[in-house]
Homo-oligomer: A and B are copies of this chain.
Amino acid sequence: MLRYALLGILNYRPMNGYELKQFMDSATNHFWHAKLSQIYTTLKALEAEGMLISTVLTQEDRPDKRMYTITQDGRNDLRAWLEAPLIEIEPTKEPLLLKVFFAAQLDKAQLIAHLRVQRSLHQAALNALRGETAAVIAHAASQNKGREKDGLLWEAVRRAGELSEEAYVRWLDETIHMIEENF
């Protein structure tokens, strides 16, 4: 599925692997991420399939860049994927919930400590979505005249992350409180 993330981004404009990684880190991190090593190998595979073409851009003072451009085949593949409805829910894996499920043998203080660490991490993620991510999206939308729909959807997706993190923090607060009272 990383292939569609890359095709989707390269459908905005050509980029190199390093820049794709930066784009994902700043804009898609809360719903899709990848390591550089996987981005490079996936770009190579997409070019071999004819979905992308690359050209080397020689730079002075900086290493050369391999710029990838989406082809018509790539656009068709992206379109077909966008049109296909998702008829399943993505099954989630939540290490924290797995740990809490089996944590009855831990003592109260240790369990609460675990939950508080997660609370601060999720609060930070929520702040990032409301701050940096919101700013990146607003800026990109403002530079994208004539394509207002993009901006609406980017914001909708950001909002999904915000609701999800709000719910997580609320659950952590609820649960810390419950354990303080009942353990």
Query: Which residues from chain A sit less than 8 Å from chain B, CB to CB?
Result: 1, 4-5, 8, 11, 28-33, 78-79, 81-83, 85-106, 110, 113-114, 117-118, 121-122, 125, 147, 149-150, 152-154, 156-157, 159-161, 163-164, 166-168, 170-171, 174-175, 178-179, 182-183
Given A95-B86, A97-B31, A102:B183 Cβ within 8 A: no
Across-interface contacts of A5 in B (CB, < 8 A): 98
- Tally of this chain's copies: 2
Contact (Cβ within 8 A) A102 B166: no
Of B89, B94, B125, the residue contacting A125 (CB under 8 A) is B89
Across-interface contacts of A179 in B (CB, < 8 A): 152
Across-interface contacts of A4 in B (CB, < 8 A): 98-99, 102
Given A152-B183, A164-B168, A113:B97 Cβ within 8 A: no
Contact (Cβ within 8 A) B82 A99: yes
CA distance A86 to B121 in the complex (A): 10
* Nearest-Cβ distance from residue A106 to partner chain B, whole angstroms: 6
Closest to A154 in B: B101
Across-interface contacts of A98 in B (CB, < 8 A): 1, 4-5, 8, 28, 31-32
CA distance A166 to B170 in the complex (A): 12
Given A89-B125, A91-B29, A121-B88, A97:B163 Cβ within 8 A: no
Across-interface contacts of A121 in B (CB, < 8 A): 87-89
Across-interface contacts of A91 in B (CB, < 8 A): 29, 33
Across-interface contacts of A95 in B (CB, < 8 A): 1, 86, 90
CA distance A147 to B102 in the complex (A): 12
